[in-house]
Amino acid sequence: MTFFEAAAKCYRKYVSYRGRASKSEFWWFFLLFFLFAWPLLLSEFQSGTWVAVLSFMYFILTLSAIIPLTAVFTRRMHDLGRTGASWLVIFFPIFGVLTLLYWTLQEGKEEENKYGLPDNKPVVSRQLHREEKIND
């Protein structure tokens, strides 16, 4: 999956915490989030009207990416057969960050798990959503 495919898919599945996300989908979207967030960090060291306006714009962009980032992280954990609440390990300093990094770098399981089949397609399948509604 390419950078643009991952970004488009994550924004199409903006608040979808169901299903699975591949390693490439997660990391490409994480890169997009980083690209949104780093100018916000840099603006903290500057002052002026334009910096304030740009800081506000980057703040809004960063906020718009937080929800899909948590969704794609949850789907990434599902790809590994873990629960979406696995991110709570982040509250253990150093150990938590290293554990999450290790988990997100692992390859997903090719076989079906309790969260469904692997979803490595760059588009969101409408048929999948219909089947989910029928099964629910």
For 128, list phi and psi in degrees, rounded to 5: -60, -45
Q: In the chain, where are the structural domains located?
A: 3-135
pTM of the model: 0.69
What pLDDT, in 10s, does the model give residues 81-126?
A: 888 888 888 888 899 989 989 998 988 878 888 887 777 666 655 5
What pLDDT, in 10s, does the model give residues 20-73?
A: 888 888 888 888 888 877 766 666 666 777 777 777 877 787 788 888 888 888
Quickly state the pLDDT bin for 3 (edges 50, 70, 90).
confident
Confirm if 75 and 47 have CB atoms less than 8 A apart: no
In angstroms, the first-to-last Cα distance of the chain is 29
Confirm if 80 and 106 have CB atoms less than 8 A apart: yes
Return the structure tokens found at 73: 């992280």
